Amino acid sequence: EGNISKETWYNDYSNPDQPNSDQPMQITQFMKRKFTLSEAFELHKFPVDLQSLHIQLGSSWDCTKVALNFNDDVPSAMDPNPLDSQEWELHSPRLIAYDKDPRKDDLPLLSLSSQSVTSAVYPKAYIALTASRKPQFYLWNIYVMLFLLGTLSFTVFNIEPEEMGDRLSNMLTLVLALVAFKLVLAQSLPSISYLTMLDVFTLGSMVLMFFVSVATSI
């Protein structure tokens, strides 16, 4: 989104001492770009999720004329302090190309012939930036609290079975505390259409309290 700046320059790496040499001329094009990029979050493993931003590089020439790879003589570099955040940690970029031993779950390095009017196949390469969430806030403030509430539900078994009213009163208090905690928690979490790891843990705590409540009433 939004190309902010653009710089382009060329370097000629041909041999000036042999102007009539049969060796092909090598001209390298350098381009400096500054972009604002975005990609949808994948929150299935929230709050211990990894987010990947893939920058796709392509060519207007098909794969029979050009192959895209990264120059190992000029390694990629990144600002040692790229992200000043208490929630995220940015890792070194990973280069994805045909000569970089791509993983099975990587994006395709060739386009589909059906995507071209001429049925040509075009090469692709990617720069993958990975950010990992720091889960300590969620672990201490949410997971520990849910664990303690679930554990406290077992204390009702210390109450004599004849005191059914006290048992149910204690369980109802814990259930209401969990529901209130869930409502407050929902305000600070993203609204998505699938369950995250945190949602599964929260629902598990509620199911646990449900079965403990049923057991205490029998």
Using DSSP's 3-state secondary structure scheme, residue 128 falls into: strand
Exposure letters 113-149 (e unless 16+ CB within 10 A, then b): eeeeeeeeebbbbbbebebebebeebeeebbeebeeb
| Ordered per-residue pLDDT tens for the chain, 218 residues | 444 456 666 665 555 555 555 655 556 666 777 777 788 888 999 999 988 888 888 888 888 888 888 877 776 666 666 667 788 888 888 888 877 776 777 788 888 888 888 889 999 988 888 889 999 999 999 999 999 999 999 988 888 888 888 888 888 899 899 989 888 888 877 788 899 999 999 999 999 988 988 888 77
Whole-model pTM? 0.70
